[in-house]
Amino acid sequence: MRRQRKFILSAVVAAVVGVTTWVALPASAAAPTASLRTVSDWGSGWQSEVTIKNTGAAAMSSWKVEFDLPAGGAIGSYWDADLVTSGNHRTFTNRGWNGSVPVGGSVTFGFVGSGGKPAGCKLNGVACEGGATTAPTTTAPTVAPTTAPTTEAPTTAPTTKAPTTAPTTKAPTTAPTTKAPDAPQPVPPAGSTLPVAVKNETGRTDNVFLYVLGTNLTTGKLGYVNAAGAFTPWTGGAPVPAPAPDVSIAGPGNGATTTLKLPKNLSGRLYMSFGQKLDFRLTTDGLVQPAPWAGGDPNRDILFDWSEFTLNDSGLWLNSSQVDMFAVPHVVSVTGGDGRTSKTGEVKAGGRQRVINTVKASPDFAKSVITRGDGTVLRVLAPGKAADAGLMSPTYLDSYITGAWNAYTGKNLTVVPFTDRPDTKFVGRTSGNVMNFTDSTGKTVASFTKPSTANVWGCDGALGAPNDLVVGPIARTLCAALTRTTLGRLDTQPSGTAADFYQGNPSNLYAKVIHDNMLDGKAYAFAFDDVQNQESLVHSGDPRQAGITLSAF
């Protein structure tokens, strides 16, 4: 399936997974019922589904489910239903193949949205089972959350609640094409923890502080790990985020190496900061991570970055990430039991400065380069984060999106999302603002409303990707094509090579220049950069040692 699962250290854990609690209303006897549940909520979006049960005395030939969204709410992708929008009112009706529901039978449809959740649900004019009178709410964080980590390249919307089961560990549909493994070297024996050597080659004299934070995949608890590999769950927290305990680990000075240990069944992030410790906060729901693009974030003036990982019985996935920002270039590596080492994420000599200079030279992107008062360039914000901070136009890609979307009013878009299953194809055509996809039988299996610039930057909202084998893979393919400006030019997706990417106008200069300055061309410059294996990810099914080398800058 894949997202094989995005690792699950969330910025603020405020997810609602399971059945949404509604105010119960009496149901008429012998009548069909409908229940609405939130499948997952990742802060910036959510996935819901409606199950219609024919508990009546006669077969159903059609159905209609309607509800209201609060101001700012939106539905992006949806499946197994048709949608009509009128202001804040949404009406879903059956498609031609799923309107008939026999007595005792059921049918389910789903959708991905953002903003407030549905309220006032009705089935055929009658309140849904436990029909909602108000939308459920969660407490918003006082510090804007970061995006969920993307170490095992994602294929679905991120979950922000600690998982109850380990993420899937199925290998990607195509193997990551990182730098060829080095010649075999002696390796340590397998153990209950995995050594991670953090080497400092930056040339900087700042003190370095390291943090290993994540989710224990056995217990579902969020917590931290010390240098010896012991996991401790977070405790405490308050409605207003309270300072977390100092769980920093002293990092290596320039030219030195510090070796940490990762316990198995952990998924999360390894942070590194220079000159100052990071400020983490705890709420009653979980951990608030640094979000330096947000106003008032206490980490705004700190030079820091992170790598993301999952370590479980199927091995180690480790990647550098530029999904939110480009700050401290670093190489990630893993040595397997065969003694071979794979690595990626290495910038070309002078690459960090070239990224900064190129972005600064663009009037559209220049303000996303963040410089501290002492002249230190702390980071280049990804365009979505820069737009959120008011540093670039929130409609930057709109003209391209409209042209690419409308290109398929008169021709087909073919999506072949699985490289190991070339016969699995979906055909898209645009009608109005919606692109509908059919499968090989001609059945409509997914629909997407035209995304906004923010949806493309975040691969979210109208491009939200549920954890399935149809809508999610199509969504991630669309987002990659829109981000790389190949949609509208290449009518089979994914397709093309790196030379075809970022050739549209306007385009994602941020992603382009980062990829251009990597030795192997690989980076995680947006959430679905794993499409066509463009991501800076290493994996070993038998890891014996991992490494993170902080590159010179």
Provide the 3-class DSSP secondary structure of residue 257.
strand
Given 41, 152, 324, 530, the catalytic residue? 324
- Angle at which helices 351-360 and 509-516 cross, to 10°: 160
**Other C-beta atoms within 10 Å of 183: how many?**
7
Strands (DSSP E) along 132-265, which ranges? Answer: 193-200, 208-216, 222-225, 231-233, 242-243, 249-250, 257-263
Q: State yes or no: is 535 an active-site residue.
A: no
Exposure letters 452-476 (e unless 16+ CB within 10 A, then b): bbbbbbbbbbbbbbbbbebbbbbbb
Given 80, 279, 308, 535, the catalytic residue? 308
Residue type, 368: S
Distance CA 45, CA 159 (A): 10
Contact 302, 278 (CB under 8 A): yes
Q: State yes or no: is 324 an active-site residue.
A: yes
**Strand bridging mode 315-320 / 330-336:** unpaired
Instruction: Give one word for 259, left, alpha or beta, with left for phi > 0 and alpha for psi -120 to 50.
Output: beta
- The angle at the Cα of 468, spanning 385 to 325, to the nearest 5 degrees, equals 15
Exposure letters 87-124 (e unless 16+ CB within 10 A, then b): eeebebebbeebeebeeeeebbbbbbbbbbbbbbbbbe
Contact 433, 398 (CB under 8 A): no
Residue type, 293: W
Catalytic residues: 308, 324
